[in-house]
Amino acid sequence: MRRRRLVPALATAAATAVLALAPAAWAAPAVPADKPLVLSHWTQPSAASYHAWADAREHRDAWAAYGFDWSTDQCTTSPDNPFGFPFAAACARHDFGYRNHRAAGLFPAAKARLDQAFYADMKRVCAQYSGGRKSSCEGTAWTYYQAVRLLGIS
């Protein structure tokens, strides 16, 4: 009986000793404290926010310490370039916002802003057109926005 109690106690003591001697490199890397601020900065509806995100995406290795999820399926099951309107980058930033806010536990509070930023990104795409083509683009952007607003997974 005495031996059965001693074995788990020795195993626990040995594990504690090994962990105490483990090099600091074994510890999980610290995430920069300003990660939520950076994430918020890159997911606002403004053009400046979009350009800051696009620049960071282009140089994502410089942001590796933050552990951002840059993956994207672009516009999911909808066309990335509906009727020739290039919405793929807007969809990629929307994916970035959803995935990283979820991972940070900030998604429910940020969802409306992320969807608005998505719509603003698409409207900036539409601004390069005129006449009927612009109207068509804006209608398509509105449809995409309504889809994520109503169906985007919270």
Q: Which domains does the chain have, with CATH numbers?
A: 32-151 (1.20.90.10)
What is the mean pLDDT of the segment spanning 119-143? 97
Residue 8 has pLDDT above 80, yes or no: no
DSSP for 51-87 reads HHHHHHHHTGGGGGGGT------TTTTS-SSGGG---
Span 20-41, pLDDT tens digits = 544 545 555 677 889 999 999 9
Q: How does residue 10 score in pLDDT terms, banded at 50, 70 and 90?
A: very low
Per-residue pLDDT, 76:
87
Choosing from 41, 51, 59, 94, the catalytic residue is 94
- Give me the chain's average pLDDT, please: 85
Distance in angstroms (rounded) separating the CA atoms of residues 93 and 87: 10
Cβ neighbours of residue 153 closer than 8 Å, sequence gap 6 or more: 98
Span 65-109, pLDDT tens digits = 999 999 999 888 888 889 999 999 999 999 999 999 999 999 999
Distance in angstroms (rounded) separating the CA atoms of residues 129 and 133: 6
What tokens were used for 9? 């106690």
94 belongs to the catalytic site: yes
Distance in angstroms (rounded) separating the CA atoms of residues 141 and 60: 27
Distance in angstroms (rounded) separating the CA atoms of residues 60 and 83: 30
Q: How does residue 152 score in pLDDT terms, banded at 50, 70 and 90?
A: confident
Residue 7 has pLDDT above 90, yes or no: no
